[in-house]
Structure 1
Amino acid sequence: MHKFEHKEKPQKPKCRNHSDQEATYRCDNCGKPYCKRCVKGQGYGRVFCAECEVLVADFLDLI
């Protein structure tokens, strides 16, 4: 007979800027976890944190 071990569910990451908020996104550039309020969309289903959004926008201006 097998014993079933009780395993705790892994905790979901918290937003880097709002520690009381669950992170629902990861920046597509740096990979850090953020809540919905902290990410910016660049279209094509991509999301970026405020810092990376500036970098991506600058890059897109170059091309």
Structure 2
Amino acid sequence: MVDQAAWHTTHHLEIPVNITLLNLPPVSPELNPVERIWEKLREDSLANRCFKNFNDAVNDE
């Protein structure tokens, strides 16, 4: 599955015969799994915060 970014729709892209690209609609955040992560981060206390390292972010209460 690919979005409709220029590098996914260019005719210069060589796609192997055993791969089929499925284009997402132009506006479809609900179909993009990473959008769910951003939504959760915005809702949580992790939004707009800085942590010293990964463990501080994971262990944050």
Q: What is the TM-score when the length of structure 1 is the normalising length?
A: 0.24
With normalisation by structure 2, the TM-score equals 0.24
More strand by share: 1
Which protein, 1 or 2, shows the higher relative CO under an 8 Å CA cutoff with sep ≥ 6? 2
